[in-house]
Structure 1
Amino acid sequence: MILELGLHDPKVTPEEHRKNHSRMQLFITRFNDVNANGYHGQAKPFAKQVQSLLNEGFSATVLFLPVLFATILVILPLMFTIFVAFTNFDGAHSGNNLFQWVGFDNFLTLFAGQGANEMLSNTIWTLLGWTLVWAFFATFLNYVLGMILALLINKKGIKLKKLWRTVFVVTIAIPQFVSLLAMSKILGDFGPINIWLSEAFGFTIPFLSNGRIAKITVIIVNCWVGVPYTMLITSGILMNIPEDLYESARIDGAGPFAQFTKITLPYMLFVTGPYLITQFIGNINNFNVIYFLTGGMPNRLYLYNANDTDLLITWLYKITTGSDNQYNIASTLGIFIFIVCAFLSLIMYARIGSTQREEDFQ
């Protein structure tokens, strides 16, 4: 075998000698391992296989359950949703006539419907516009107000900082759906605020019954619910900005505004860039605020099974729980929402400073 490997062949170069020697050592090592185990090419006994799962194969053992649950709870439902989007499966189909494959008909109906399906097509584009507007303002206002609140609380000279943080974090301790349901009653047409306005000034404000005002209301209420989260995150970041940066800026004559725009804000945006993307995508799919506060109301007649403040995600819920149970359209809509979220995430992630200028903050 040594001659076959060319270890004594003068025509073989030193580099080839080293490679052949390494192969020989690897072969001998594996051969000795097999002999040491005593299996000689035979399968390990079952007890030894189980024991190996707790030793050298322990990593595979630990990963088995997460992979299993991810397959059952994520991958299989996702595949089912994709398949349903290419069928006519809905609440009217049962028994032997469960569904039929229809190809891309559902996509054409949803995005370019004509005649009876024109309202369906108009609804998705109308709700897409409002969903993006909602996601932008819900993310932007929460971030800005949370940052301002954190700056005020962390400002030197402010006393009882822990108390102020605790006061604003109380909204986090209360379950969100409880707060939203309470606000829906308080801001209702016959809620305490409108009753007081009627008795004191002779007029009421349709917080939740007028389309435009309702949209403004849900954005403001979402700030009340979400600002404390941003305040906590930005407070932690503010306390980790090196004080030397501010000291150098003051020596150079920079004022508070210049320090904020040149040091604080760039640092905050760099660190929280991925968080902002997550918040924006989360607000696109923010079911709770809309459903518990307005239920999508007020009514809008030209929308198909949707109302003024409905997002795409709440509309998806309605068309699967209504009288029609249009699972095929809902699955198509779910795929569309995923594509929108994935596209926006990739675009924003590729442009944020966290990925473009990472070396600047090392």
Structure 2
Amino acid sequence: MIPVALPSIESLLLLFASMGAGVCLLIWLLRLLLSRRARSRFAARPVLGVVLMLVLALAASFYLSFQYQVWQIDREFARRDAARRVTLAQAQTLGGVLMPAGARLTLAKEGELETFTEALFDPPAPAFGLRVSRIERYLHTDYDSKTYEELRRYPHTIHLWGEGPQQVEGWLCDTSQKLRLRVEDEGTRPEFAECVLAGGNAIEGGVGRWPAGTELLRMGGGVVYTDGHREPVNWMVRVRDPLGLPLAGLTLGRPTVQLDENRQLLAVSDAELACPLTLGEMRYPAGTQVKTAGYPLRQRFPSQSWVFSPVAPGQATRAGQSQPVNDGTSVVQTPDGAVLGVLSNEEAGVLRFARIIVNETDPQEPPVHCP
């Protein structure tokens, strides 16, 4: 956190008093200019009038000095801002990218091209295996712990924009939307981290394709729990399309899906049934919350088990039983329908988050619908 010195009350009062003195002096000079009577009164006591004017002028000088310094600072900021905007006259390599002539750069530090935070290309240029029209870099700065002198700057996050769908590590990403790369440390190669999928990405081991607009995240080191357990998750896919998606035998709305390195399904979370479902002896209404049995629930049940959690006012019913399964309770079932257990949401690891309403506007997304 950078400490900021706030002005004292005394300095603010002095500034307002100085401004008031300047206003009084201006009004007095205007009256002398426009009123013969005021000039006659001034001429009757010229020494006193001159002394009072000098006192007001001296008092107003503090405010004028303050405004002059503000003007100088604004002018210097404008000069620096203009100096940090550079158009390359000839092609050169910066930040590992061959910048073509005419590239427009915004620099973090005046005069140092390697500190560019934004680069614009027209037409798109090759960079990081893609054709991009814009690069945005977020720089990390290291300082000397004793002198606080700047030692070096290097990017820790890179955002790219291009034109239309492009292949990235076997995925078809929509580069008209932001694509993110991460840099683990200075000098290391940027790695793909996140993009928005274009249409045409097949679901491995399933039917259909991931909808356009789906968010794709690369999980560098997998998912690590607080007790040290690690899940071998390589990819996380967040579906935003409200149309139900056929996945692992169910039709799910807006699922978050974890995939391994071969893009095979590992887990599903934060999904809901897009269509009513009958599975074994259980019947669930549309809108029922769904996930796979995650860690540590898999220590009690098979890893491919489903966890169904009705959401009020919906209820799940069980064949041969009159008592429904209500909100707050979850049912664990195998993919073939065998009921393995009926647990509280807390036991099943099902979380419900409060919805925050701002300005009386409910941020709830439109409901999913059955295809």
TM category, shorter: under 0.3
TM-score where L is the length of structure 2: 0.21
Larger relative contact order (CA 8 Å, sep ≥ 6): 1
Q: Which has the higher strand share?
A: 2
Q: Which has the higher helix share?
A: 1
Q: Which has the larger radius of gyration?
A: 2
